[in-house]
Structure 1
Amino acid sequence: MELKISVVIPVHNGGDSFVRCLESFRDSTRQPDEVIVVADGDTDGSREVAESFGAKVFRYPSPGGPARARNRGANAAQGDIVLFIDADVTIHSDTLARVEDAFQQAPELSALIGSYDDAPGDEGFLSQYKNLFHHYTHQVSSDVAFTFWGACGAIRRSVFQTVGGFDESYRKPCVEDIELGYRLRQADYAIRLCKDIQVKHLKRWTPMSLLRAEVFYRALPWADLILSDRRFDADLNLSHTNRLSVLMVFALVGCLIASPFAPMALAIALILSITLLIINRDVYLFFYRKRGLLFALKVVPWHWFYFLYGGAAFAYGMLCHFMRRFRLPNPPTPYGVLRSK
């Protein structure tokens, strides 16, 4: 039975990446039944761009976040399947066909998520590292997913309506998709990670944009979500190897700080470094195969830094969570600007 697919794209100020996103649908072997764009307080004419491509367009006068925008688009959708695509990605020619086939082959499937491909759009080192790392994480993870993904995620419209859509209290690009995935799993809806359904990420990452997104838009709110729902599934970035690596990186930093006062600390630091290389060898071999030895060597310190700031953000998130839970005075608010309480 043929399924109708509604594509929903939230956009703030999409620029050239948004144009490329819309252009990629023209080359799709399976055309969407409708494309719905929700312009979230755009000031660069993204609404007019979407209209020129024939999309159905809704616009908010001021930005309220992708959760609200996606809900608006999904509520207007007519398709059996709602496919959410971010404004800074392009689809492959077979992306939509693979989405339709996945739902046709598995009537019990409620939602699916795809993956970034291994050819990021921006050539800078950080963009290549960040997006390739995302690709790697999805490619080695279990097909049974515990989260949703707004950049390339599809869901049966009836299921989306039943669970109430995205939580609009998230006012920035945050963990609203992960939170939706948790609710889907709690309601016993099946989510699958389809590694062959891929899109290309066009975003250019800089050190500041990377840290801001990883810490304030991801790690802190995700920590609060995990602690609130008590979900520690070994899924995606929460694998047991990653958790162990976080502890070892903190121990490594501690040893380096202590080394001027305790010479044995340097020996321990060396052992920890070698162990970190060994337990994460598959990651570094992946980058070596994709981009060569020099690139892989440059990845190592960024990867360890990722464990450091991710672990620190999670620890701070725990502190904030428990201070609020036990009503301690003056609890810190790690991401109040991201979510309205």
Structure 2
Amino acid sequence: MTQDQTLSISVVMPAYKAEHLLHRVLPPLIGMLETGEVSEVLVVDDQSPDGTADLARKMGAKVMTTPVNGGPGAARNLAAEHAVGEVLWFVDSDVIAWPDGPEHIRNAMSEDNVAAVFGSYDDAPDGQAWFSRYKNLLHRYHHQRANRDARTFWAGCGAIRADVFREVGGFDIKTYEVPSIEDIELGYRIAETGRRIIVEPRLQGKHLKVWTMRNSLSTDIFCRALPWARLMISREGLTDGLNTSGAERVRAGLAGLLFLSVLALLIQPNWWPAPLLLLGLAFLANRDLLREMATHGGVWFAVKCLLYHQFYYIYSASVYVWCLFEYHVLGQKQKLHVRRN
């Protein structure tokens, strides 16, 4: 495989109230621009009330402004209309891209029939509270272990051939008015054209977002699980990739049985061995994740992550079951729209 050094790359960064982040996320990208590794760095200001646009311009980026606040999908679509690069490299405004990103993008695009590539977060997220580290490391864990060929896309640090992006119509900002799974849905449309999307674990960036349980629950349920479940059910059902693989479904089932066994203790306290056995099985089934978390935070950190992870499985699986019910029983077969409040 020979890397195409002539393949031009436009970096696209949607930004809203990102002034406090730009001094960290833009310098690596501007450095790539100065060395010719990328053709341009486009920052699309989504009507920020702060100094995002002015600071990005001063730091050397080309700045565009959306006509109205429309979310990152609309910002990316606007940039794609004007980008000069053959490849659009999407980098979120809270992600510090690693300097070897262009190399991995060009290598990926040199493979046969590849239209898009995405990577993962690195193993040193900014938020140091245990829950924030768990969320970011969990995202990395799934992307690092994913099948090389995917049917979805991730816009946090991912690249698409510009002509393919325009051919399939870009991000669907009518269905997804708020940031949710518009990148996943875009991946489905790319895959339907017969082109490849690959996961490149070496294409990485540091995530600066600090997660809390509150914002995680809201995001996981309303911006991820609900719309993604509805999309899968309406398209092709569960796929064997990322966090929807067959093994993940087994682990979710174990978590559900564990929860039911704990509830059963209220009726039959002498059944206490059952939850202990199921907890042991859950830890065994998640041993790779347990080992990954322990590597980055020690044993107690890993135990806390695994216990919370059982709760994650329960509410994620419950959402999917609910979506099956509303699709097949209630007949709500077009309930995909994600509206602004």
Give 1:302 deviation, angstroms.
1.4
Q: Deviations over 1:205-255 (max 9, x none)?
A: 111111111111111110111111123211001011221122222222112
1:307 partnered with 2:313 = yes
Supply the AA of the counterpart residue of 1:77.
A
Contact kept in structure 1, 2:15 and 2:93, CA below 8 Å? yes
Q: Distance in 2 between matches of 1:40 and 1:268?
A: 52
Q: Distance in 1 between matches of 2:68 and 2:210?
A: 24
Partner of 2:166: 161
- Other structure's SS at 2:237 match: coil
Percent identical pairs in the alignment equals 35
Give 1:122 deviation, angstroms.
1.9
1:50 partnered with 2:56 = yes
4+ residue segments displaced more than 3 Å: 26-31, 319-324, 333-336
Partner of 1:15: 19
Aligned to 2:291, which of 285, 291, 296? 285
Partner of 1:245: 251
Partner of 1:90: 96
- Other structure's SS at 1:292 match: helix
Kindly report which structure 2 residues correspond to 1:28-107, keeping only aligned pairs within 5 A, or say none: 28=32, 31-103=37-109, 105-107=110-112
Give 1:194 deviation, angstroms.
0.5
Give 1:279 deviation, angstroms.
0.8
Contact kept in structure 2, 1:42 and 1:62, CA below 8 Å? no
In structure 2, the CA distance between the partners of 1:61 and 1:164, relative to structure 1 (3 Å rule), is: closer
1:5 partnered with 2:24 = no
Kindly report which structure 2 residues correspond to 1:88-127, keeping only aligned pairs within 5 A, or say none: 88-103=94-109, 105-127=110-132
Q: Distance in 1 between matches of 2:317 and 2:336?
A: 14
Aligned to 1:267, which of 273, 277, 285? 273
TM-score by length of 1: 0.92
Q: Distance in 2 between matches of 1:187 and 1:236?
A: 21
Q: Distance in 2 between matches of 1:247 and 1:47?
A: 47
Supply the AA of the counterpart residue of 1:215.
I
Give 1:334 deviation, angstroms.
8.9
Contact kept in structure 2, 1:112 and 1:193, CA below 8 Å? yes
- Other structure's SS at 2:21 match: helix
Supply the AA of the counterpart residue of 1:59.
T
Q: Distance in 1 between matches of 2:336 and 2:105?
A: 37
Aligned to 1:337, which of 312, 336, 339? 339
Give 1:285 deviation, angstroms.
0.7
Give 1:41 deviation, angstroms.
2.3
Partner of 2:234: 228
Give 1:186 deviation, angstroms.
1.3
Aligned to 1:298, which of 304, 307, 311? 304
Consecutive unaligned residues in structure 2, runs of 5 or more? none
Contact kept in structure 1, 2:40 and 2:62, CA below 8 Å? yes
Aligned residues: 334
Contact kept in structure 2, 1:113 and 1:154, CA below 8 Å? yes
Q: Distance in 2 between matches of 1:45 and 1:315?
A: 44
Partner of 2:182: 176
Supply the AA of the counterpart residue of 1:132.
L
Indicate the RMSD between aligned Cα atoms, in angstroms: 2.1
Q: Deviations over 1:12-59 (max 9, x none)?
A: 111322331112214446632011111112111211122112222221
Consecutive unaligned residues in structure 1, runs of 5 or more? none
TM-score by length of 2: 0.92
1:196 partnered with 2:180 = no
Q: Deviations over 1:239-295 (max 9, x none)?
A: 112211222222221121121322454222222111111111010011112221121
Q: Distance in 2 between matches of 1:81 and 1:293?
A: 42
Give 1:318 deviation, angstroms.
2.8
Contact kept in structure 2, 1:216 and 1:335, CA below 8 Å? no
Q: Distance in 2 between matches of 1:254 and 1:324?
A: 26
Contact kept in structure 2, 1:256 and 1:265, CA below 8 Å? no
Q: Distance in 2 between matches of 1:216 and 1:231?
A: 19
Partner of 2:145: 140
Partner of 2:28: 24
